[in-house]
Amino acid sequence: MTDRKSLLQALEQYQTTYKEEMDFISSFLFLLEHKDAYQRTHLPGHITGSAWIVDRNREFVLLTHHAKLNKWLQPGGHADGDEHVLNVALREAEEETGVKHFKLLQQGVFDIDIHPIPARKDFGAHDHYDVRFLLEADMNDALVITEESHDLAWVPLKDLTKYNDSTSLQRMAEKVRFYS
């Protein structure tokens, strides 16, 4: 994804068998009509980028125990004006895990999701329009916990529901089976 135009094209051509993702596409396309869609200050929602990071054998996923949301999630975050959403996902993955080397397993979008973020003192409740990319990392690379996380863990995909049973994460775990 090199810019807004590329993301628009990718979303218009995005193929999925998951109804919830099909339903998200028109909302993403509408949001991208707004010039500030990549700014965290754009409410009621804005573009974010995240990384579904798996091991070489596709048996584990790297999750962060998000400090603010108190949930196990994939690394990711705000675009802060960067329209290169793959770069956003890669930057956030490195910042939130300490891992320096990733292999992009799929060209283009791996998954999309719109999820609510609760109000905080500095922002009202809003939605994250999350564009996800499938990455591979070495499980032996050192992990670095930052103030954004309570913990990091390589979670067996077969045990994912013990950490987070959301439809969104379960959908990405299902999709990984196609890359085994």
For residue 106, what pLDDT is reported? 92
State pLDDT tens for residues 27-82. Answer: 999 999 999 999 999 999 999 999 999 999 999 999 999 998 999 999 999 999 99
For residue 111, what pLDDT is reported? 98
What is the pairing mode between strands 126-136 and 45-54?
parallel
User: What's 57's domain CATH number?
Assistant: 3.90.79.10
Among 64, 42, 21, 13, residue whose Cα is nearest residue 123: 42
8-state DSSP, 158: G
Count of structural domains within the chain = 1
The predicted model gives 103-125 an average pLDDT of 92
Range of the domain at 69: 4-179
State pLDDT tens for residues 7-22. Answer: 999 999 999 999 999 9
Share of the chain above pLDDT 90, in %: 92
Q: What SS3 class is residue 105?
A: coil
State pLDDT tens for residues 119-175. Answer: 988 888 999 999 999 999 999 999 999 999 999 999 999 999 999 999 999 999 999
Are 19 and 103 spatial neighbours (Cβ–Cβ below 8 Å)? no
Among 164, 146, 156, residue whose Cα is nearest residue 54: 156
